[in-house]
Amino acid sequence: MRRIPWRLLREVLAILGVIVSLAFVGWQIRESNRQGRAAAYQAIGIATSEFHRSFDAHLNRLETESDYAEAVKHWTLADWEALERITVADLRMLETVLLEVGQGQLPADAVKRLGYNWGPALANPAFACMWPDLKPGVGESLRRYIEETTPPDKRFTCEVDLKGLRDATVLHGGAAGG
């Protein structure tokens, strides 16, 4: 039996040490990613829960009516402003989810799993009316996401003059409907 030189034995042990160290680092990275993903889901879930807890009967009614073109024509400026506030908050949360997905922190199906799969967003009469004012204030990924949810031929054409409603309400001191 031939003796193994100490130098070779040391090199083999060193290589094994490097392999074990790399495996440990890989495991640590995977564990860290798992914890980061769980924390992201938790933070977005808490924010979503708090957001929905702030809804009252009026906001619930507006959200329901937003799907009806005839209903939104009769909204007051206060109605539009209330829906715009909740829509902006919702868009910020959706933008956060999309950012987390884009960075690889959350999987691609996180939008759906977290309840932000809005479907054809621009087919909703109220959202379609607000979108021109909201669009400049959102990031490119969110803008693309919203516009890709609705084919151009399925987009609602807004019949409400929001600027005119603002002008009439603010300049004339009324609470006129649309």
**Residue 69 banded pLDDT, cuts 50, 70, 90:** very high
* Residue 72 or 3, more confident: 72
| 23 three-state secondary structure | helix
Q: What is the pLDDT of residues 98-150, one digit of tens each?
A: 888 888 888 888 888 888 877 899 999 999 999 999 999 999 989 999 999 89
* φ, ψ dihedrals at 14, nearest 5°: -65, -45
Give whole-number Cα distances, 35 to 14, 74, 112, in Å. 31, 48, 20
Secondary structure letter of residue 137 according to DSSP: G
Rounded distance, CA 171 to CA 148, Å?
37
Rounded distance, CA 166 to CA 157, Å?
19
**Residue 178 banded pLDDT, cuts 50, 70, 90:** very low
* Residue 2 or 158, more confident: 158
Q: What is the pLDDT of residues 13-27, one digit of tens each?
A: 999 999 999 998 988
| 76 three-state secondary structure | strand
* φ, ψ dihedrals at 109, nearest 5°: -85, 5
How many CA atoms lie less than 13 Å away from 121 in the CB half-sphere? 21
Evaluate whether 87 touches 132 at the Cβ level (below 8 Å): no
**Predicted TM-score (pTM) of this structure:** 0.71
